[in-house]
């Protein structure tokens, strides 16, 4: 049971100081080397946490303690993060102890049947392991060198590598880390502090926490694969996120009812979304020539173009136009369509439909504000571009298509189909033995 500790903060001059009892029971007052009260409070909480743990010196569970507080309390350097001079000194001492143990073993009387005693074997082995750990720690380069190697590695692996490099730079700047120190000097305390700051202002804090944690994990997993040291991310746990709700989709009868009374333009737009699975972004820049016919089969070709700027712009596929439900809508629309390179021209009458976020405005409407009147959308409440696209996925699943076939038609991965669209059959599956 931990003995009670009196821990308090005071400000002497510019910086804050902390009053506490060290591991030897003596009362100490140390400068926290910061003039920020919030930082001082964090250090105080960390000292309270450390003293409440009441763990023996060099216990491995102390690995996530901030080294600054650890060294104050135990009056020794943080055991897992050693500088060059200390490493060399400890390495020499360890080697001397190891040589002594070997000499002792050689001089010991050895029973020809049992060999060395287990106690002697264990002691020699533990010393050699300690020596190996110290040698391994000495081989870890400075953080700036580690980041150089990491930058080369992620650039070769994927195009998003720059994002991870920038993320690590932001993290190290936040914790005010000295780039000349070893990367193993980063603690769980510092990582948690960064993640707590990173999630401020985010609507879904747990999701943001997990996303940033993954970026840090990628780096530390890579670094630990290059140089052996204690991975701090092993002690940073992910946060649980809200269970995923069922996706919004509509029945074919709902779509047919929705199409009634709409203009040829919007009937074709809604039909292409609901019966061909195109997203709103894929509709943008679609050419009239992308409606093709091959041996009596009509198809809609989705390919990259200069009007699609998002990551999905690289998605390329052809979708068969349903003869009964979609083909009549497209043919009716094309018979009245004005001359234009685009299948769905960006300007309809005097309205600029395909300009930044205006498509969503005309499709779903906008709320009234003090300076702008409300715009009544084409779709009623409960409908949007994504729910129309997901309707296509649900129709394919119900028709008996496999996950791979649905993924190919929608431009998704089979994992995405399995995660979202396949769940709609959860209450409809029947099994016959």
Domain residue limits, the chain: 8-74, 84-138, 143-235, 252-425
Q: What is the rounded CA–CA span in Å between residue 411 and residue 158? A: 21
The CATH number of 143-235 is 1.10.150
Per-residue pLDDT, 398: 82
pLDDT digits (tens, 9 = 90+) for 378-398: 888 889 888 899 899 888 888
pLDDT digits (tens, 9 = 90+) for 115-141: 555 555 556 655 565 565 555 566 777
Nearest to residue 265, comparing CAs of 338, 360, 321?
Answer: 338
pLDDT digits (tens, 9 = 90+) for 60-71: 667 677 778 888
pLDDT digits (tens, 9 = 90+) for 18-50: 998 887 788 888 888 888 888 888 888 888 888
Q: What is the pTM of this model?
A: 0.48
- At the top level of CATH, which class does the domain 252-425 belong to? mainly alpha
Per-residue pLDDT, 82: 42
State the DSSP string of 14-70.
Answer: TEEEEEEE-TTS-EEEEE-S---HHHHHHHHHHHHHHHHH-PPTT-GGGGGS-HHHH
């Amino acid at each position: 049971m931990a003995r009670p500790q009196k821990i308090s903060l005071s400000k002497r001059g510019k910086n804050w100081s902390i009053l506490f009892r060290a591991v030897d029971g003596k009362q100490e007052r140390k400068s926290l080397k910061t003039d920020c009260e919030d930082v001082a409070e964090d250090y105080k909480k960390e000292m309270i946490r450390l003293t409440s743990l009441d763990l023996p010196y060099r216990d491995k569970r102390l690995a996530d303690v901030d080294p600054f507080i650890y060294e104050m309390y135990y009056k020794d350097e943080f055991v897992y993060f050693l500088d060059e001079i200390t490493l060399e000194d400890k390495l020499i001492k360890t080697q001397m102890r190891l040589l002594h143990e070997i000499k002792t073993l050689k001089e010991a009387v050895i029973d020809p049947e049992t060999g060395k005693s287990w106690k002697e074997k264990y002691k020699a082995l533990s010393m050699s392991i300690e020596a190996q750990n110290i040698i391994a720690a000495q081989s870890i380069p400075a953080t700036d060198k580690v980041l150089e190697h990491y930058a080369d590695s992620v650039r070769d692996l994927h195009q998003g590598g720059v994002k991870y490099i920038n993320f690590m730079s932001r993290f190290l700047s936040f914790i005010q880390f000295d780039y000349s120190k070893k990367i193993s000097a980063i603690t769980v305390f510092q990582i948690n502090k960064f993640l707590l700051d990173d999630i401020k202002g985010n609507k879904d804090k747990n999701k943001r926490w997990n996303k940033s944690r993954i970026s840090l994990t990628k780096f530390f997993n890579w670094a630990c694969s290059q140089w052996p040291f204690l991975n701090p991310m092993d002690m940073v746990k992910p946060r649980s996120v809200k269970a995923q709700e069922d996706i919004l989709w509509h029945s074919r009868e709902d779509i047919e009812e929705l199409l009634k009374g709409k203009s040829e333009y919007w009937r074709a737009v809604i039909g292409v979304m609901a019966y061909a699975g195109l997203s709103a972004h894929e509709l943008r820049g679609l050419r009239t020539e992308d409606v093709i016919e091959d041996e009596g089969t009509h198809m809609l070709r989705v390919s990259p173009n200069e009007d699609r700027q998002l990551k999905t712009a690289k998605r390329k596929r052809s979708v068969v136009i349903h003869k009964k439900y979609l083909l009549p809508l497209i043919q009716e629309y094309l018979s009245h369509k004005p001359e234009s390179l685009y299948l769905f021209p960006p300007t309809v009458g005097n309205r600029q439909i395909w300009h930044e976020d205006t498509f969503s405005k005309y499709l779903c409407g906008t709320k009234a504000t003090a300076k702008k009147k409300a715009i009544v959308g084409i779709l009623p409440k409960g409908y949007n571009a994504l729910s129309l696209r997901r309707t296509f996925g649900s129709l394919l699943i119900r028709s008996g298509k496999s996950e791979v076939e649905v993924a190919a038609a929608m431009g998704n991965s089979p994992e995405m189909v399995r995660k979202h669209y396949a769940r709609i059959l959860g209450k409809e599956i029947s099994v016959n033995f």
